[in-house]
Amino acid sequence: MLDAGRAGESRPLEAFERRQDQGLQALRRDLVVLTALTAVAPLLGLLGTVVGMIETFEAVSTVGGTTGSRVASGISQALITTQFGLIVAVPGVFGVANLRRLLGHVETRVADCRMPLVAWLERPQRGVPS
């Protein structure tokens, strides 16, 4: 940004805003990915629950000596996948909320620095011919 502003390629404010947008877009993109992963976790847990319950009902519907162990296995699968989905989703929700708050702070700090930095870049250089 310093070189672009001083070399006359663009005005310092435009260079600053371009760099600002590039940096903040990368952070927002990563936040969207984390938000999606957090939202998907309970759905995957629910899918595992449904699969486990299907196995449980199949075990109940069949006649044989291993019905009890098959029912227990299906219920175990259902509960473990539900638990995993919640273990990922609950902290994820709080983590994403915290990251959104921090991103807001970054945006505010960058906005606070914009005008003083641009003014410094646009000041006339001493000892440098125009």
Q: Which residue, among 16, 23, 22, 11, has the nearest Cα to 1 in the 3D structure?
A: 16
* Segments of the chain scoring below 70 in pLDDT: 1-10, 125-130
Give the model confidence (pLDDT) of 58-87 as tens digits: 888 887 778 888 889 889 989 999 999 999
Q: How far apart are CA 40 and CA 72, in angstroms?
A: 26
Amino acid 14: pLDDT: 79
Q: What is the pLDDT of residue 5?
A: 47
Round to whole Å and give the CA distance between 97 and 83: 22
pLDDT (0 to 100) of residue 36? 93
